[in-house]
Amino acid sequence: MKFDILTLFPKMFVSPLEESILARAIEKGLIQIRTINLRDFAWDKHHVVDDTPYGGGQGMVMKVEPIARAIEWIKSQDPVAWTVYLTPQGKPLNQEILQQLSLRSHLILLCGRYEGVDERVRDLYVDEEISIGDYVLTGGELAAMVVIDAVSRLLPGVLGSDRSAKEDSFFNSLLEYPQYTRPSEFRGVSVPEVLLSGNHEAISRWRRKEALRRTALRRPDLLSKANLSEEEKKLLGEIFQENQVKEGRDGV
């Protein structure tokens, strides 16, 4: 999969791509990442990439021509390249959107700065607008990095082979269950007995129950989307009862 990043700050992408899983994916040729400095496509004497907004107001707007030339240059090499603009005005990013993006062969990630891009960039070039959350960044670069990271781990060969089995399992729509490693006791806090028991049936049941508990308590919105089996509904019932007992003790 190819990623082309259009940015005024290409150096922001250097070290995140030199570490760990993404570095290995690049090394193995599973992903190909190019940073393209939009300033290289500003052809006036001073390589100007931004200008004041028509109608007045604060801040600067990214000019249409450098972005247009950069995207047209990429598309002349690969007409199927899909252009994504990172903006708080886009669709809120989730795993389903990432799954769809991971099926494409070539993504162009447009990173805005200042007050964003001239609206004609949207009109003429942007295929999809994505937001990584309802908060304001200084630019689209970190959002683009989030997309690259989360898409890459979905591509065949990027993660260990035990991943895909896990990805479409029961846990997909739920929060993760609690994890422990050695030592078995730390500052008086012990690892749950069942995890040391070697009873794989009991461990699996415990993990499903704790994933359900976490999800019910922290993200009830996710539970309504999950397709729960009869066994899982029974576990949820147990959780609610345990919680009522606990609330009773706490005086709720």
Residue with tokens 């937001």: 131
Comparing CB distances to ligand 4HQ, the nearer of 66 and 140 is 140
Could you confirm whether 220 is annotated as catalytic?
A: no
Q: How far is the CB of 137 from ligand 4HQ (least distance, A)?
A: 4
What is the distance between the alpha carbons of residues 115 and 88, in angstroms, rounded to a whole number? 11
Could you confirm whether 153 is annotated as catalytic?
A: yes
Half-sphere exposure of 217 (CA within 13 A, CB side): 14
Helix (H, G, I), strand (E, B) or coil at 112: coil
Could you confirm whether 115 is annotated as catalytic?
A: yes
Q: Which amino acid is at 209?
A: K
Comparing CB distances to ligand 4HQ, the nearer of 86 and 212 is 86
Size of the site for ligand 4HQ (CB under 6 A): 14
Spell out the residues 6+ positions from residue 12 whose beta carbon is closer than 8 angstroms to its own: 141, 142, 145
Residue with tokens 């040729």: 29
Q: How far is the CB of 221 from ligand 4HQ (least distance, A)?
A: 20
User: Phi and psi (nearest 5°) for 11?
Assistant: -65, -20
Catalytic residue among 88, 104, 167, 205: 88
Catalytic residue among 39, 69, 122, 153: 153
Residue with tokens 């898409």: 151
Spell out the residues 6+ positions from residue 156 whose beta carbon is closer than 8 angstroms to its own: 30
Q: Which two tokens stand for residue 92?
A: 């809120």
Could you confirm whether 249 is annotated as catalytic?
A: no
Q: Is 139 in the site for ligand 4HQ (CB under 6 A)?
A: yes
What is the distance between the alpha carbons of residues 195 and 179, in angstroms, rounded to a whole number? 10
Q: How far is the CB of 145 from ligand 4HQ (least distance, A)?
A: 11
Comparing CB distances to ligand 4HQ, the nearer of 133 and 237 is 133
Q: How far is the CB of 54 from ligand 4HQ (least distance, A)?
A: 17
Contacts of ligand 4HQ in 79-98 (CB under 6 A): 86-88
Q: Is 101 in the site for ligand 4HQ (CB under 6 A)?
A: no
- Output DSSP code: residue 197: S
Q: How far is the CB of 191 from ligand 4HQ (least distance, A)?
A: 38
Comparing CB distances to ligand 4HQ, the nearer of 25 and 110 is 110
H helix or E strand, kind and range, residue 82: strand 82-92
Q: Is 152 in the site for ligand 4HQ (CB under 6 A)?
A: no
Catalytic residue among 19, 27, 162, 168: 168
Contacts of ligand 4HQ in 108-137 (CB under 6 A): 112, 116, 131-133, 135-137
Spell out the residues 6+ positions from residue 135 whose beta carbon is closer than 8 angstroms to its own: 88
Active site residues: 88, 115, 153, 168
Which residues are near ligand 4HQ by CB under 6 A? 86-88, 112, 116, 131-133, 135-137, 139-140, 143
